[in-house]
Amino acid sequence: MGKSMNLAIAAVLLAAAGCVDGTKPVGPDRASVEAGKRARMHVSTEETKPDGTMGGKGGALHMLAQGMGVPSLETYSLTFPATKNDDVKREIHYEIAGVKGSDFLEIVIPEGSLLTWPDGTPITEKDTVNITITVDPVYFLIHLAPAGLRFDPQIPVELNLFYENSEDDLDGDGDADQDDETIRTTLLDTYARTGPNVPWTLLPSAHLVETREFAANLVRLENVAVSW
């Protein structure tokens, strides 16, 4: 890495720190968590713009983050086999001291749903597909691979994402009030894209506002985010 790149990253981190000061965090823990989130966004994802927002259709996309102090997930990477001949269902939960907690994700691949490999080759009844779910540790963002694998639109995959453990201060002004609730109930949605250089587009889903859950149908493996 060249000196200019190091300087660029340092400048971005300084800018991020300035952002945190400007939002009047409620305490030092909040500030350090927020700084960590923003630093991570700038340094380790290829999906962010220089201002820390995600590239979205017609503007920035704000990804929903996990709340502070919420339990970890039981796993952040899950690989499982699927065939055309069986229903496959997998779940990822939160976990506290080795005990399974509330739901984070549920995916169902119905019998007959697997259609084509990413290169367009048909998936046959003899094929076994190893599907991998990778979960972002900070945001409600999952990567589904092999990206581009297609499902029969008549028998789509069912994906449920549960966000009861999300952050409450969605607008980042240091409180959790009606403004945040309005964002959650009216703007929050699911978005998808197949790779880092492709724009995010709305992924149609049902928003169960009361239970804080999104239910989407997938016709291909891609990246899915809960965002606004």
Segment contacting Ca ion by CB under 5 A, of 52-60, 141-149, 178-186, 188-196 = 178-186
Distance of closest approach, residue 108 Cβ to Ca ion, in angstroms: 35
Please list the residues that pair with 141 across neighbouring strands: 225
Q: Between 139 and 151, name the residue whose CB sits nearer to Ca ion.
A: 139
The SS3 call for residue 44 is helix
Whichever of 106 and 171 has its CB closer to Ca ion, that residue is 171
CA distances from residue 20 to 14, 23, 38, 65, 198 in whole angstroms, order as listed: 10, 5, 9, 16, 29
In sequence order, the 6+-apart residues with CB closer than 8 A to the CB of 195 are: 147, 223
Binding-site member from 51, 111, 164, 179 for Ca ion (CB under 5 A): 179
Q: Identify the CA nearest to 100 among candidates 62, 76, 71.
A: 71
- Amino acid at site 36: G
Should residue 181 be labelled a site residue for Ca ion when binding is judged by CB under 5 A? no
Report the residue from 51, 177, 181, 202 that binds Ca ion according to the rule CB under 5 A.
177
Count of residues that bind Ca ion according to CB under 5 A: 7
Local structure of residue 228 (DSSP, 8 states): -
Q: How far is the CB of 54 from Ca ion (least distance, A)?
A: 19
Tell me how far apart the alpha carbons of residues 147 and 137 are, in angstroms, rounded to a whole number: 20
Nearer to Ca ion, 34 or 169 (CB): 169
Pick the closer one to Ca ion by CB: 25 or 110: 25
* Closest residue by Cα to residue 78 from 102, 55, 99, 107: 107
Q: Which is nearer to Ca ion, 86 or 175 (CB)?
A: 175
Determine contact, residues 103/203, Cβ cutoff 8 Å: no
Please select the residue that binds Ca ion; options are 74, 91, 152, 180, rule is CB under 5 A: 180
CB of 186 to Ca ion, least distance (A): 15
Whole-angstrom CA distances from 104 to 118, 141, 160 are 27, 11, 8
Write down the least CB distance from residue 208 to Ca ion, Å.
22
CA 70 – CA 134 distance, rounded (Å):
19
x/- mask, Ca ion, residues 157-176, rule CB under 5 A, reads: ------------x-x-x-x-
- Which residues of this chain interact with Ca ion, rule CB under 5 A? 169, 171, 173, 175, 177, 179-180
